[in-house]
Amino acid sequence: MEEEPPHPDGSVRDHTAAQHKRPRTDSGSSTSAESLKSTRTLQSEDVEFVHENGRVYGNLTNFTPCDQAEQDRLAIQHQVFVLALKGNLATTRITPFTKRILDLGTGPGNWAVAIAQKHPQVEVVGLDMAVWDLETTEAEAGQARVTWELDNLDIWGDERDGDKVDDLTSRLHHYDPFRDPTARIPTNPRGEGSSAHSPTPSTTAFSFDPYKLEQEQSPGWNFTQPFDLIHLRNLKGTFASWEPVYAEIYKNLSPGGHVEIADYELVLPEAINLTQSGIESISSSAQASERDFPSETMRKLYMSMMQASFKSGRPFGTYYMHPSYLSDAGFKDIKTTYVNVPVGQWHSDPEQQRIGKMFLVVVMEGLEPQTLRLLTKWGDAEKVWTAEEVRQTIEIVKEELLHYNKEVERRREAGIKSVDDDESQGWSASFKWVTGRKSKNA
């Protein structure tokens, strides 16, 4: 039976690691170990966790931790994504012909386990760059089976040219994260030899030189068997270059296979309805000012985080979901689904209040993991922060957010309406799912 995707009104448009962690291994499927046959570049015993400022990280580059506190937050965030889709796990249909699914950047594996539970006939692979406490996630899995893999996915971003990173940082002056967070940023630092700009990316994992006796394998993920669906969620700021990532996704899909990318962007109250007009209209028509951000301190913290992410060479934001990345990689039938999720309990609908309460926890508890390493390691345009400065600022932001949400709730209960709406409008996040299909003739 096919899994029907949700159909929110007007929301779909076409476009031309911590302690007590065990290794990622086969979790019990009799076929998964043989059928995966991937080229692993990391082994669990080789991973050394990085302890910084009281948090645990899986490597030296990724800015989010992989400790128990972050795993708990991601578990709540998973529920918000599911509730936003009215109980669905994806907008892509899972059919009887869907045999293999890859959850790329699976983290603690919440989505991978959920999709395996719902479709036990499908072979599900969860792949990440860090080791998480998978036993906690699998405790909810029941009879579902997921193959867990550990690999260095960011094979193009380990060594970056300093001048090109500086050039990337300079582009921040031409990019307004408050008005065009989804506008595409050209981030390929090398700009050479990328197959992502070809409408028909190469399907070979080898570069051939007739004058060499031993041929070198070109960078790639090198799965020997393709997938019918590759799923990514909440990976903003993960990769240094997204063009080769989408090229690899395309290469590792079966003909007719799909890619689905899910993430969210916090939206200014005045710009909420603009997301229904499309990505391009946001950058060209948004009238909201950065002064209107619910929390003045949060506005400053957000801008500092963006500056630090540019300096790190891995810009933060949902620009990586721009449909042109998919079309450049060769994907067809590109569609985007938008769902607005309230931040807090300001909405009049009880179900939206429930989602908003959960998402407010996700936002507030996500302030430290999303900013601490960026600001203490790379810093913003003015300075490198101390951990104490980051945490003190975060506490102020939390107080301002709680005050803002209480004020919006008070206005709703008092019947105070906004100028262009039938109820008091609060702060929301624009959740979106972008899908693309590989041609059956590819």
* Domains of the chain from N-terminus onward: 12-192+219-437 (3.40.50.150)
| pLDDT tens column, 87-142 | 999 999 999 999 999 999 999 999 999 999 999 999 999 999 888 988 888 877 67
Give the per-residue pLDDT at 23. 46
Is residue 269 very low, low, confident or very high in pLDDT (cuts 50, 70, 90)?
A: low
| pLDDT tens column, 193-238 | 334 333 333 333 334 444 444 445 556 777 889 999 999 999 999 9
> What proportion of the chain, given as a percentage, has pLDDT over 90?
50
Residue 55, pLDDT > 90, answer yes
CB distance 318 to 265 below 8 Å: yes
Spatial distance between the Cα atoms of 429 and 431, rounded to a whole number of angstroms = 6
The residue with greater pLDDT, 42 or 198, is 42
Which range is least confidently modeled, 94-108, 213-227, 276-290, 306-320? 276-290
Spatial distance between the Cα atoms of 346 and 323, rounded to a whole number of angstroms = 32
Amino acid letter, residue 371: T
Average pLDDT, the chain: 77
Give the per-residue pLDDT at 166. 58
Q: What are the two backbone dihedrals, phi and then psi, of residue 39, each rounded to the nearest 5 degrees?
A: -90, 100
Give the per-residue pLDDT at 189. 40
CB distance 314 to 153 below 8 Å: no
Give the per-residue pLDDT at 156. 65
CA angle (241, 245, 247) in 5-degree steps: 120
Residue 290, pLDDT > 50, answer no
Spatial distance between the Cα atoms of 95 and 84, rounded to a whole number of angstroms = 22
Spatial distance between the Cα atoms of 112 and 104, rounded to a whole number of angstroms = 9
Spatial distance between the Cα atoms of 221 and 55, rounded to a whole number of angstroms = 29
pTM of this prediction? 0.79
Give the per-residue pLDDT at 196. 38
Residue 253, pLDDT > 90, answer yes
* pLDDT mean over 313-317: 90
Is residue 63 very low, low, confident or very high in pLDDT (cuts 50, 70, 90)?
A: very high
Is residue 353 very low, low, confident or very high in pLDDT (cuts 50, 70, 90)?
A: very high
Give the per-residue pLDDT at 413. 78
